[in-house]
């Protein structure tokens, strides 16, 4: 009986340890865009601290619903919540990484960065008002570039998309006509073109359809070797869509202008700013029911800000500027436990 009793006790102890380890892990759900970098951060963080992260990549809407239902320790969204919603739900919101949305084309002979466009031209292409690549307005902006007398096929997201919201927000800022006729949203009633599901679907369609144009997150353009276009920014310049250009847009932005850092990074001033830049966000409770779990969430993201920049850059994400991270740390001081003290001390 003793061996059996010992084995039973050992089994119970192992189960208890496993349960304790699981309890120490943190859970999150939401945006698909940052899933690869969160996974890499989680892997490195577990090795260093023993604490794991279980993140469900279910989309921004799902992440918002799960944090509202208190079924996860944090939610994640590419579309930031407005101040009224944050106050209503008792949530604190902060950004983690950034990326850019780029327009990509499949025009024979056109290499990456060789075609220039403006926001108004892109808006008119997607509105069906510019039908050919040889349109005089495009030709005038691209003197010396051989453009075909071929029909343009705009490619758009067929699913509800944070990328579409970012893209149409920019078009609404660049074109009053677009703003009045279509506006900015996660889904649009596109008048012309073909749809593709996800960034993957848009990428595949642009690759397959000659003389097409699409919009994707910059990482997809880079990884799939698509011919991106240059886009005129607010200062009239045509910067390359690089980490430096995305960071320039973030650095010149007024991050304090909206609650929860929920500002738009599109069409920011600065000669080197990429005009369609965006951040992705985390949602946590201001007065969490479980202070210990809230502390673990903030410890994880604090570690990521301090140690995760290279992992993010390797995956084509853009780390936040140091001054923005400082503002985030200040915001964390408002997250307090039942004792009224901040759950995270720096």
- Residue 215's SS3 state is strand
- Residue 333 CA to residue 88 CA, distance in Å, equals 19
Check residue 223 and give its pLDDT: 81
- Residue 72 CA to residue 87 CA, distance in Å, equals 19
Q: Helices 35-49 and 291-307 meet at what angle, rounded to 10?
A: 100
What is the DSSP pairing of strand 91-106 with strand 227-228?
antiparallel
| Superfamily holding 2-99+278-332 | Periplasmic binding protein-like II (3.40.190.10)
> Is 3.40.190.10 the CATH number for 100-253?
yes
- Residue 273 CA to residue 221 CA, distance in Å, equals 18
Check residue 250 and give its pLDDT: 81
Angle, CA 282 vertex, CA 277 and CA 287 arms, to 5° = 145
**Residue 207 in contact with residue 102, Cβ under 8 Å?**
no
- Residue 89 CA to residue 283 CA, distance in Å, equals 10
pTM of the full predicted structure? 0.77
Evaluate whether 2-99+278-332 and 100-253 have a shared fold. yes
State the sign of the Cα–Cα–Cα–Cα dihedral 298, 302, 303, 305. Answer: positive
**Residue 261 in contact with residue 281, Cβ under 8 Å?**
yes
pLDDT in tens, the chain (346 residues): 444 343 443 343 333 333 334 446 999 998 877 888 999 999 999 999 999 999 998 778 888 999 999 999 999 988 889 999 999 999 999 999 998 899 999 999 999 999 999 999 999 999 999 999 999 999 999 999 999 999 999 999 988 777 888 899 999 999 999 999 999 988 899 999 999 988 888 999 999 999 999 999 887 888 889 999 999 999 999 999 998 898 888 876 788 888 999 988 899 999 999 999 989 999 999 999 999 999 999 999 999 999 999 999 888 788 988 888 999 999 999 999 999 999 997 5
Q: Where are the domains of the chain?
A: 2-99+278-332, 100-253
Check residue 24 and give its pLDDT: 60
């Amino acid at each position: 009986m003793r061996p059996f009793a010992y084995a039973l006790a050992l089994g119970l102890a192992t189960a208890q340890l496993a349960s304790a380890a699981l309890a120490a892990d943190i859970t999150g759900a939401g945006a698909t865009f940052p899933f690869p970098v969160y996974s890499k951060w989680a892997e490195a963080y577990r090795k260093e601290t023993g604490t794991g992260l279980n993140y469900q990549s279910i989309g921004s809407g799902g992440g918002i619903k799960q944090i509202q239902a208190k079924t996860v320790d944090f939610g994640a969204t590419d579309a930031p919540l407005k101040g009224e919603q944050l106050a209503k739900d008792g949530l604190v919101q902060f950004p983690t990484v950034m990326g850019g949305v780029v327009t990509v084309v499949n025009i024979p002979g056109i290499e990456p960065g060789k075609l220039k466009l403006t926001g108004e031209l892109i808006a008119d292409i997607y509105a069906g008002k510019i039908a050919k690549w040889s349109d005089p307005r495009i030709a005038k902006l691209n003197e010396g570039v051989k453009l075909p007398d071929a029909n343009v096929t705009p490619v758009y997201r067929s699913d509800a998309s944070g990328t579409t919201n970012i893209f149409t927000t920019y078009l609404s800022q660049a074109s009053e006509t677009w703003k009045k006729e279509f506006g900015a949203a996660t889904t649009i009633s596109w008048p012309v073109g073909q749809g593709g599901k996800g960034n993957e679907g848009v990428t595949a369609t642009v690759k397959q359809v000659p003389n097409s144009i699409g919009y994707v997150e910059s990482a997809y353009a880079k990884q799939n070797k698509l011919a991106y276009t240059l886009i005129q920014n607010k200062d009239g310049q045509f910067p390359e869509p690089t980490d430096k250009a995305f960071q320039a847009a973030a650095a010149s932005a007024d991050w304090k202008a909206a609650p929860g850092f929920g500002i738009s990074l599109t069409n920011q001033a600065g000669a080197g700013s990429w005009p369609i830049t965006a951040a992705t966000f985390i949602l946590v409770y201001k007065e969490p029911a479980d202070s210990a779990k809230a502390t673990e969430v903030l410890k994880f993201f604090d570690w990521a800000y301090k140690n995760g920049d290279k992992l993010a850059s390797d995956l084509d994400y853009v780390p936040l500027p140091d001054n923005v991270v400082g503002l985030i740390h200040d915001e964390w001081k408002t997250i307090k436990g039942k004792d009224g003290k901040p759950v995270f001390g720096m």
